[in-house]
Structure 1
């Protein structure tokens, strides 16, 4: 029994060790900017993974934006590249991401947390496995998915929105096209969020 307990502790420690801790990015300033416009997009490397960031000032209060982000069951109506968003548990969701032809769809399972303080609201997520969603051959599973939405109010009706994600696409997606894909994703996520806020 003692050996089993030790094994469980070791396995849990390994999982924690190799999980992407997006919160550590606050210490890093080494971002390569790939778009310097109203939506600022850049990327950096952490633990061998390309971590991407899109930032924009939106003319809406923090509460309105966070209400959309935490409504995970409605994601397919907001972020239009998502073809499925299914709650598996209170804090676990399964997401399918449509990719342009001829690439396979990507899917991932994430566990999320929500944090709120006077100065910001954070929705952070990281990949997990789940017995109800086995790996399917028609999709490429993003086993290292991780990221966060970070909202900081600059006034009563303006919020600085930052979306951070692991830009690894795995499978058959060519590395030379990563930068273009990151720009597309960053722009789409911000534009779709703005569209949802304007409805």
Structure 2
């Protein structure tokens, strides 16, 4: 079976997962059929977000792109490298180690992610992710991220149409101004979904999904 695992969480700095934006969410971006809402709670100074779009491809093709670890560095923003630490295809669980390339003069980040894939009775595919505090040796060249949660969901709207939603929160750690971090939260999900659309427009056969998602 082709090596499949979640990749998109590598570039997302985001938050608590929920089915719709919070009541006080602000629609920060609405262009190119991509919407990004940002909001905050009392415990997190850094904004959370939800972003969504619709894609004119089969749901299997969209999910396959997110799961293709070998192809991720070619399109996922800020992803320097990634490797699979463990996986359990029957349970849909996996662990990843990834390095994120931050712009100079900021130090690059790394993190260990625990993820789980599932499909509900309505056919909605979900991928949930959470950073672990342990699982891989610390490297002094990087700032380790330990406060991250994120989610992807894929809802089939037709044979050639899928609704893609992503939610998240992350503390980027280190000396990053809060205003800069919050600006990143607004732009990053938009750029992620824009690049995802561009990548899916290229001719490519969809890989087979893990059995747990079929």
Give the TM-score taking structure 2 as reference length: 0.74
Specify whether residues 119 and 125 from structure 1 end up closer, same or farther in structure 2 by C-alpha distance, changes over 3 A only.
same
More relative contact order in 1 or in 2 (CA 8 Å, sep 6+)? 2
Q: Please tell me whether the aligned partners of residues 127 and 151 of structure 2 are also in contact (alpha carbons under 8 angstroms).
A: yes
1:160 to 156, 160, 163: 163
Q: Please tell me whether the aligned partners of residues 86 and 94 of structure 1 are also in contact (alpha carbons under 8 angstroms).
A: yes
Partner of 2:39 in structure 1? Answer: 44
Deviation at 1:40, TM superposition (A): 0.9
Q: Please tell me whether the aligned partners of residues 143 and 173 of structure 2 are also in contact (alpha carbons under 8 angstroms).
A: yes
Partner of 1:127 in structure 2? Answer: 131
Determine the C-alpha separation between the residues in 1 that align with 2:15 and 2:185. 20
Mark the structure with the bigger radius of gyration.
Answer: 1
Deviation at 1:44, TM superposition (A): 2.3
Q: Secondary structure at the match of 1:123?
A: strand
Structure with more of its chain in helix, by fraction: 1
Partner of 1:35 in structure 2? Answer: 29
Partner of 2:184 in structure 1? Answer: 181
Q: State the Cα deviation string for residues 120-161 of structure 1 (Å, max 9, x = none).
A: 111110111444x22222222210111011111222211111
Q: Please tell me whether the aligned partners of residues 119 and 152 of structure 1 are also in contact (alpha carbons under 8 angstroms).
A: yes
1:83 to 74, 80, 93: 80
1:58 to 38, 47, 55: 55
Equivalent runs, 1:86-97 vs 2, <5 Å: 86-90=83-87, 91-97=94-100
Determine the C-alpha separation between the residues in 2 that align with 1:167 and 1:126. 10
Q: State the Cα deviation string for residues 49-91 of structure 1 (Å, max 9, x = none).
A: 3322221111111110111112234321231420111101110
RMSD (CA atoms):
2.2
Structure 2 unmatched ranges of 5 or more:
1-13, 88-93, 203-214
Structure 1 unmatched ranges of 5 or more:
1-19
The alignment of Structure 1 onto Structure 2 pairs a total of residues equal to 178
Partner of 1:9 in structure 2? Answer: none
